[in-house]
Structure 1
Amino acid sequence: MSKKTRHEPHEEHADESWLLPYADLLTLLLALFLVLYAMSATDARKFEEMSEAFSIALTSGTGILDYNKTESSSSPPDTKDYKSTSPAIPKSSPDQRRAELMRQEQEDLERLKKQLDNYIKNSGLTSELSTQLNHSQLVITIRDNALFPSGEAVVKPEARKLAKAISQMLHKFPDYEIIVSGHTDDVPISNSRYPSNWDLSSDRALQFMKILLLNSELDPKRFMPIGYGEYHPIADNKTPAGRAKNRRVEVSIIRKYQDSATFTSVNE
């Protein structure tokens, strides 16, 4: 009687289908870390490599082991040899921009002062007109006897030519605020028209400003007349010469950018 061979029952193979999504999950995790690493790197070439690796991981269909083989087959790049070739684009800071604007403004006002000084010299008006450039403004000072009869605010006919010349120079610099101010000495005035030096100085500033604004190139909204009376003297009122200096009209071109530490008076 033949012996029957007894076969042990084979164990069923374990279900390995879970490996596929697991491998995909690992691939995606690797891609995520590669992107995070690339974002933190400062080297442009390194960023391109990481982007390439990310693209391969998502589109090639290779598993995590295959990708590691692909990566290890090529020698790692030496990041020390890679330097960004993009030139750095300098961006001016607000302080640098302001310094540049201040420099340009200084050049503009110096040019205007030179034009005025040449006009004063060529017209023989050095005793009646002067200019001064300081850290806050360019001031054109006109003695009152060059503009008005004594105690009046009507601009002399010959002074209109002076006002026209000044207005033509001012319209080349249209962005500046202009203050026209009237000043008197401290001798009280009281007549039917002007009860005080305040009134006289204010009217003189207004009348001269009106002559300037006959130039249609000038913007009236940038002009302002002010009467200071006798309260801003530039000389001693105790002498006739000092009082003559104090009776004046000033046309002030106000700086837009002021820095007393940077700009000093040109006339000093």
Structure 2
Amino acid sequence: MSKKTRHEEHEEHADESWLLPYSDLMTLLVALFLVLYAMSATDAKKFEEMAQAFSSALNGGSGVLDYSSMSPTNSNLDQGKADKMDNVVDKSIGESDIAKLRKKEQEDLEKLKQQFDQYIQKNGLTNLLSTKLNQSQLTITISDNALFASGQARVKPESQQLARAISQMLQQFPDYDVIVQGFTDNIPISNGEYSSNWDLSANRALQFMKILLVNPYLNPEKFSVIGYGEYRPIATNSTAVGRAKNRRVEVAVIRKYQENTENPPSSK
């Protein structure tokens, strides 16, 4: 009796039917990892061939490895290529348009510079005003002697016509941003109205900009002021001539379509 019982237990232990679902599970896991690896590859054709092979082997060619549900169809791939080509064309058209806008901008700023230069020559202001056009802006530099009394920021009455003339020329090109910048020499301010050269330079730029904006055809949103004080000299401060050059107001008309350069030229 006891032998029979042990024999039955031995027969139950010998039953290895559990290996079948285990092997199926292992096969599915291997297939999963292969599919994941194939999905990370860029060769869509090889992935399709592998997916179809596994689909046929495991479930008759359809199911979880059905390529059509997991990867782009040929039509989608073709559409993607077409979209890519469209982007290239659009970019090419955009660059062409920008080149035309840069050319038009160059013509506008050259015309504006010519008008300023003619005004300077006509009114004998060559010692007080100058212009410079570079890859970032058109700059009109005005000596402080042409605008202000020493240590003051109020534009002299006889100099306000200069500001009005500049504003009339600027109104021809109202879409450009304009920065009015004030500069001083390095001699400390000695009156009670301003505590530093920074204050003086900023207020001089502000007062000059206010006169420009009396012109109703200029958009105040396009204008801003900066005071640099003594910290952007264009000449030495060790001589009277150099200090006179450093005391100035600059009106900078900023380009909208600047070309990319590693070291753009300075406007100073």
TM-score range, shorter chain: 0.5 to 0.7
Larger Rg: 1
Structure 2: 5+ residue stretches without partners: 1-77, 79-88
Q: Offset at 1:165?
A: 0.5
1:116 maps to: 116
1:260/1:114 CA distance change after superposition, 3 Å = farther
CA deviation vs aligned residue, 1:133-175 (integer Å, no higher than 9, x gap): 0010000000000000000001011111100100000000000
1:224 maps to: 224
Q: Offset at 1:191?
A: 2.2
Separation in 2, partners of 1:237, 1:257: 35
1:84 maps to: none
Structure 1: 5+ residue stretches without partners: 1-39, 41-89
**Aligned residue type for 2:219:** D
Q: TM-score normalised to the size of structure 1? A: 0.63
Percent identity over the alignment is 62
1:191 maps to: 191
1:180 maps to: 180
Separation in 2, partners of 1:188, 1:260: 39
Separation in 1, partners of 2:176, 2:132: 16
1:101 maps to: 101
**Aligned residue type for 1:254:** I
CA deviation vs aligned residue, 1:198-218 (integer Å, no higher than 9, x gap): 000000000000000010100
1:249 maps to: 249
Following TM superposition, where does structure 1 have runs of at least 4 consecutive aligned residues deviating by more than 2 angstroms?
A: none
Separation in 1, partners of 2:186, 2:107: 37
RMSD over equivalenced CA pairs, Å? 2.1
Q: Offset at 1:192?
A: 1.3
Q: Establish whether residue 158 from structure 1 lines up as the match of residue 158 from structure 2.
A: yes
1:43 maps to: none
Separation in 1, partners of 2:247, 2:187: 10
Contact 2:180/2:250 (<8 A) preserved: yes
Q: TM-score normalised to the size of structure 2? A: 0.63
Contact 1:147/1:155 (<8 A) preserved: yes
Out of 186-195 and 249-258, give the one that drifted further: 186-195
Contact 1:153/1:203 (<8 A) preserved: yes
Contact 2:136/2:258 (<8 A) preserved: yes
**Aligned residue type for 1:143:** S
Aligned length in residues? 178
Contact 2:151/2:191 (<8 A) preserved: no
Contact 1:135/1:260 (<8 A) preserved: no
Q: Offset at 1:260?
A: 5.5
Separation in 2, partners of 1:138, 1:120: 15
Q: Offset at 1:94?
A: 1.4
2:26 maps to: none
Separation in 2, partners of 1:168, 1:158: 17
Separation in 2, partners of 1:94, 1:218: 29
Q: SS of the residue aligned with 2:179?
A: strand
Q: SS of the residue aligned with 1:119?
A: helix
Q: Offset at 1:190?
A: 3.5
CA deviation vs aligned residue, 1:99-155 (integer Å, no higher than 9, x gap): 111111000000000000000000000000000000100000000000000000010
1:209 maps to: 209
Separation in 2, partners of 1:217, 1:200: 28
Q: SS of the residue aligned with 1:224?
A: strand
